[in-house]
Structures are given as structure tokens and as C-alpha cells.
Amino acid sequence: MRIFWRPFGFLRRLFKVESCSVTKSESLIPLAWTSLKHSKAPDIFLLDQRKRFSTMPEIERDQRDSELFSPPSDVRGMTTLDRTAFNKTVTIPTLKVRKEIVNKLMRSLKRAALQRPGIKRVIEDPEDEESRLIMLDPYKIFTNDSFEEAELSILKQLNVSPQISKYNLELTYENFKSEEILRAVLPEGQDVTSGFSRVGHIAHLNLRDHQLPFKHLIGQVMIDKNPGITLAVNKINNIDNTYRNFQMEVLYGEENMMTKVRENNYTYEFDFSKVYWNPRLSTEHSRITELLKPGDVLFDVFAGVGPFAIPAAKKNCTVFANDLNPESYKWLLHNCKLNKVDNKVKVFNLDGKDFLQGPVREELMQQLGPLSKERKHSVHIVMNLPAKAIEFLSVFKSLLDGQPRGSELLPIVHCYSFSKDANPAKDVQQQVEAVLGISLDPCSSVHLVRNVAPNKEMLCITFRIPASILYKNQALDLENQEDPPPFKRQRTDKAFSEEKTTIA
């Protein structure tokens, strides 16, 4: 919820057979399907009976399939998890065969065999150890007449009787995936939460109002169904506080907010309740890191716990990383040590404006000063505080006024912003231009980072700060010196998300 909630990587198995039992084999012509838990035959069976063993169209099949293999209907409305209430017995047709021909036969019975992830297709026959039972698809095989010609022919060839028997397969809570459990429990027709942000051992959910009565159950199911998750928390406010950390409530599990995550091969430790961390930014962190070359200088104005700073330092860049949150600062220092880059990162605990006017300005005076004529490396300034970063750009106006300028390679800014505009790239560029009082055309590029909410995008605008901004009162002299082309712009506003930014 990849929130744009990470689509639950639920490619794992659907069903696992925990316990199975075989009832006395009996002929099934016509087969009276029953669900042992429910006295009333489910509608799907009535449908089957009406259709008298004909093959169902796919769409109907999917619907019936989900009924047969979904949790019992009486779990609906459950707020305290009772795992035993998920026990359910479904009747599956089986074919008894000699064990030595099972493999050969299975190749020819692909269509007819039961295909449910986690459910064994061949099981032992409790009545005969020389035989095996092949589980068949209850929607395809109703009687021995349901086999196709080719199937009947191979059965005949291998001397197997096409007579089918029924087998009672017991499904338990373990056999259902979390989405199926929650769909069965939550009010019918309402959205089911099927995803979360994973931050180390913590599942971070963002529940909607109608899900709140079930919040503890939801947390418990998330923990049960996701190995390694031991704590489920729910976001209880929008992330609008200064330090961008979430207010959260524990849904289930042991309250331990100290966590450890791996991102792009680096390790970060922090207290998730006190700092900002978003697993959905890993691609963006590596995109920026890839733009950097060894020897470049990186100023990270809103550094958090270090996901830009640490990879950049590992790439042999000189890094100045800053965060106003004392907890972020603490964990940033810790993570620099943890990743063995503490000698390459200077860490600050300042307001972004003071950082830019202090340590950044001082370093820029060196980097761009008279002794820097031959400087080949680039200077990058990352500003990831999307709700506000653009406001901080005004600090660049006249930042180096009166300072001698030796290098033509001016700093490159990567500034993040949100936009709800129909043309978000244009909107962000215009916002930056309004703060700087200049036109950036054609010297900037905008990258779509992610969709944050319906109609709300997070973007990154990249541009080289014009000399006329940094050295405002030297504009006359310096404007005659042409700024190097900052980017080869390859985007159209429409296709901005696919652009590649090339830094000159």
C-alpha cells in the first residue's frame, strides 16, 4: 500500500497443506460436492450441478475458485483473531494410481491436476502404501467422464482406472494468505489493506477509517504472514512535523522501534519513531549516487540518517551532511561509523539555512575560489525536504557575493518538491524560478521520483546554480563569462519521468 503501498510481494505460496485426511474412497457419479464445515452447499456447487459437469468459462471459474479456497464465511466481522475459525474442509477429487507410474502420469494430467500453490498434488494413500492419490481440479474433474480423450488414453495405457474418489482436504489459517484472510474478515466490498512499508522488523501500515475496528487483527495477521516482521504499527498522522518522523500506534507485537535496514548494500540503524525513513526512496538514493563521481563534493542539506551521504562517501566523494533533528544527527554519525565512512563525512546538526550560509558557503569559497581554476570534480547539493526545500533556495542568492571566482564549474542542485499540478514538472520549475527570480530554461531537468498520493507527485529538479545568483553583485563581470552548459536536456514535459539527466 510498494503508500503507494508496496504491492505485497506476495508471490509466495497461497496454500500449505498442514493436515489432510482421507475419507473412505467412494465413487462420485454424480459427485455431490459438499463443504463439510457448511451444511448448505456453496453456490458454486449449485452452479456446477445446474451446468451438469460442463467446463465453466474462466471468469466463472475464478469466482468459484476463490469461494472454494477462501476462508469460511463466518469469520466476517472478527476483531479478535481466532485462528481455529479458519479451519475448513474442502472436497477434492482424487485418482488412485500405483506409485511407480505417478511421475509419468503427472506429465499427462497437467490439465486435470489440482494447481494450488502450497497444496501437494500427490499424496500418500493411507489405505495402500503401494498407491498414491493424485489430487484433481474440482472444477475440471467431476466424474470419470470429465477426463479428456488424451487423458483417458494414457490412463488406459498405464492400466489405471479413471474412477475418481473424494478426499477431504483440511485448510487452516496457515493455508490462507493475508489478503484472503483480511478480505474474509473485513466488511464485504470494502478495501482490504494488503500491503505495508517494511522498515527492518517493522510493518508500517496506513489504515483507513473502516479498517480501524480490525486494526489489532490486521497487525497480527501481518506479523503471522510475513517472516521477519515482529511489530506492526499504524501511521496516525500526516507527516507534517518538522523532523518528518511518523506518529504511530502499535497494532501488534513487541514495541521495539530500534531497527536495522539494508538499502542499496548499505546498513542503517535508527529509532524509527524518531527519525525519517522511507523505503520507497531507495531508487532515488541510488539514482543520485550514480550521478556522482569519485572526488566530487556532496552537500546533503536534509540528510536524515544518511541514505545519500553514506553511498556518496563510499564512492570517495567528500560529504557534508546535515540534519536539524538531533536524533537524525545521532544516527547519521552512527551510520557513518557503521558503514566505515566516518572519515569522509562531516556531519552537522543545523537548520538547513544555517548549514548553507555556514559550512556550505565556506567550502564553496574554497571549491570555487581563485585556486580552483583546474578543478575537475563537481559540487552537488542535495535538498530532500520536498514540502519546503524550494524555499531554502533563496539562500543561494548572493551567497558568494564579493568572493573571487576561479572555477567555472558551479554547484549542481538536486531539489525535491511535491506537486499537485496537472503539469508537475513545469509547476516545480516555475516555483524554483519564482524563488530565484530567473528563468531556468533550458538549464534544468525534472525527474519524477514517485507518486505520493492520488494527484500528488514527488519530483526532483536538478539545475546548476547560475553565477548571477551566487555572485549577484558581480553579475556584470560574470555574466559575460558563460556558464558551462549544465545539462543536455532530453525531456519533454510530458515525458519527464523518462528523461535522463546528463551533467556536463
Q: Which stretches within 306-453 are classed as H helix?
A: 309-314, 326-338, 352-355, 361-368, 389-392, 424-436
Instruction: Determine how many CB atoms are found less than 10 A away from the CB of residue 195.
Output: 22
Q: Which of 113, 135, 324, 470 binds ligand SAM (CB under 6 A)?
A: 324
CA-to-CA distance for 430 and 443, rounded, in angstroms? 13
From the list 44, 49, 16, the residue with the least C-alpha distance to 30 is 49
Residue 11 Cα to chain centre, angstroms: 13
Stretch that binds ligand SAM, among 52-60, 63-71, 147-155, 236-244 (CB under 6 A): 236-244
Q: Report which DSSP code applies to 173.
A: G
Is residue 302 involved in binding ligand SAM (CB under 6 A)? yes
Q: How many residues sit close enough to ligand SAM to count as binding (CB under 6 A)?
A: 20
User: Which cell numbers hold the place of 183?
Assistant: 478480505
Minimal distance in Å, beta carbon 502 to ligand SAM?
23
State yes or no: 384 annotated in a binding site: yes
Cell 530500534 identifies what position?
258
Q: Which of 307, 411, 424, 466 binds ligand SAM (CB under 6 A)?
A: 307
Using CB atoms, what's the residue nearest to ligand SAM?
304
Is residue 352 involved in binding ligand SAM (CB under 6 A)? yes
Cβ atoms 174, 62 nearer than 8 A: no
Minimal distance in Å, beta carbon 430 to ligand SAM?
22
Nearer to ligand SAM, 68 or 303 (CB): 303
Task: Tell the burial category of 300 from Cβ atoms under 10 Å away from its Cβ (0-12, 13-18, 19+).
Answer: buried
Across the strands, what pairs with 419?
Answer: 457
Task: Give the contact letters, 237-266, x = binds to ligand SAM (CB under 6 A), - = no.
Answer: -----xxx----------------------
Nearer to ligand SAM, 161 or 242 (CB): 242
126: amino acid identity, one letter: P
Minimal distance in Å, beta carbon 308 to ligand SAM?
6
Is residue 276 involved in binding ligand SAM (CB under 6 A)? yes
Nearer to ligand SAM, 138 or 304 (CB): 304
Is residue 385 involved in binding ligand SAM (CB under 6 A)? yes
Nearer to ligand SAM, 353 or 489 (CB): 353
Secondary structure of residue 256 in the 3-state scheme: coil
Stretch that binds ligand SAM, among 59-67, 216-224, 301-309, 490-498 (CB under 6 A): 301-309
DSSP line for 289-303: HHH--TT-EEEETT-
Stretch that binds ligand SAM, among 40-48, 144-152, 261-269, 321-329 (CB under 6 A): 321-329
From the list 317, 332, 385, 328, the residue with the least C-alpha distance to 356 is 385
Is residue 487 involved in binding ligand SAM (CB under 6 A)? no
DSSP line for 450-492: EEEETTEEEEEEEEEPPHHHHTGGGHHHHHHSPPPP-EE----
Binding residues: 285, 323-324, 351-352, 384
Query: Site residues (CB under 6 A) for ligand SAM?
Result: 242-244, 276, 278, 281, 302-304, 307-308, 322-325, 328, 351-352, 384-385
